[in-house]
Amino acid sequence: MTRPNRNINDALTDVLQDIEQHGSVVVARGQEQREVLSALLQIDRPTERVLTLPGRNNNVFAQLAETLWVLAGRNDLAFLGQYLPRAVEFSDDGHTWRAAYGPRIRAWDHRVDQLREVRDRLTEDPNTKRAVLSIFDPGSDYGDTKDVPCNNWLQFLHRDGELHLNVTVRANDAIWGFSGINFFEWSVLHEILANSTGHRVGRLTWFVGTLHVYERHYDTARRILQNRGMKSLYEFGIPAQSIEVGLDGLDDDLQRVFTVEDHARAGRTALAAKATEEVQDPFLRSAAVMLRAYNAFLAELPTAKVTAIVDELSTGDLRIAAIEYLSRRWRDQDAFSLRAGERQFLKYYWALAEAHAALAA
């Protein structure tokens, strides 16, 4: 499969269609899965990273939390477990992810920040072919462990004013891996490095050894495929939340977001709101608002308090994804006061979701 896709919505439905039509059933590590081998995907607009497909039940709050956790070079479950409760199932010690991407990217061998090395290679020679991040570690990843990195190698290539990203993956679960987190996190990293080198964001290409759907997700994949050809929120004029920060300001702003999250998790809502004002980058500031809203939701605060936090967000893809998730969880499509552009897309989205639910019943 090599047809270019516009964004993550198009790419996921193409992936699942390819697996459904051409996949072979295999059992690996005791789990049945349907897979295609040596898959090649291309996404032309990777900044259109927010997934909105009925039946996928996406959690954008978890995607944001894990992405920030990776960018900061963290591997602790104390933070991540709040957003991915199942994360502990993939931990050897119950406290960390041994093969977490963050430390390998930000402090390989406890000394090399690969993001800065890539930025420096591209600055020194914009057409270099050596701007790569390595994730798989042969010194540790052949051992007996629950946690071996699936994404192994990232290459950044500048051509004609655009920074392209090639991702090489040994094995990708289409539901929890590719669409659940990997595309989102790497597209954010892609945009940050484009900012750092002064280039436009180019295409994102995915090379996968085995691209698969586990048996537990067969029904989910079929439900998602009912949306093939569906318009994404971006085709309704909803903008992607832009990222302006580069590497030089990233770590300080990430720490500000984690301060917001710490206050929000502890129920210090006023302090969380005040700390949000200190976050400089618009994407990271929106992420801080999103984490406040999600922690308020988890704490079962009144609906009006949660919606008031979401209303701090400007109209854009993150706000739409927050509204979709919370409305679905509350089973209430009238919980939010929708703005004009939002109403058009969500009316379309909910009509499709209800039609699919009726068919399933």
pTM: 0.97
* Same domain flag for 144 and 221: yes
Residue 240 forms part of a structural domain: no
Catalytic residue flag (residue 150): yes
Compute φ and ψ for 76, nearest 5 degrees: -85, 145
Per-residue pLDDT of the chain (361 residues; tens, 9 = 90+): 457 999 999 999 999 999 999 999 999 989 999 999 999 999 999 999 999 999 999 999 999 999 999 999 999 999 999 999 999 999 999 999 999 999 999 999 999 999 999 999 999 999 999 999 999 999 999 999 999 999 999 999 999 999 999 999 999 999 999 999 999 999 999 999 999 999 999 999 999 999 999 999 999 999 999 999 999 999 999 999 999 999 999 999 999 999 999 999 999 999 999 999 999 999 999 999 999 999 999 999 999 999 999 999 999 999 999 999 999 999 999 999 999 889 999 999 999 999 887 776 6
Predicted pLDDT at 2: 58
Which among 199, 231, 263 is the end of a domain? Answer: 231
* Same domain flag for 42 and 172: yes
Predicted pLDDT at 357: 78
Residue 89 forms part of a structural domain: yes
Range of the domain at 88: 4-231
Contact 65, 73 (CB under 8 A): no
* Same domain flag for 225 and 252: no
Residue 238 forms part of a structural domain: no
Contact 153, 135 (CB under 8 A): yes
Instruction: Compute the distance between CA of residue 48 and CA of residue 175 in angstroms, rounded to an integer.
Output: 18
Residue 236 forms part of a structural domain: no
Tokens standing for 341? Answer: 């552009």
Q: State the CATH number of the domain containing residue 114.
A: 3.30.572.10
Compute φ and ψ for 167, nearest 5 degrees: -115, 130
* Same domain flag for 222 and 117: yes
DSSP assigned state of 76:
B
Side chain identity, residue 162: E
Residue 55 forms part of a structural domain: yes
Tokens standing for 27? Answer: 């059992």
User: Among residues 115, 131, 150, 181, which one is catalytic?
Assistant: 150
Number of domains in the chain: 2
Tokens standing for 258? Answer: 């984690």
Which among 201, 231, 261 is the end of a domain? Answer: 231
Instruction: Compute the distance between CA of residue 281 and CA of residue 345 in angstroms, rounded to an integer.
Output: 27
Residue 237 forms part of a structural domain: no
* Same domain flag for 78 and 187: yes
* Same domain flag for 300 and 332: yes
Contact 323, 61 (CB under 8 A): no
Number of residues assigned to the chain: 361
* Same domain flag for 279 and 213: no
Predicted pLDDT at 309: 98
* Same domain flag for 187 and 252: no
* Same domain flag for 100 and 17: yes
Contact 197, 161 (CB under 8 A): no
Contact 239, 201 (CB under 8 A): no
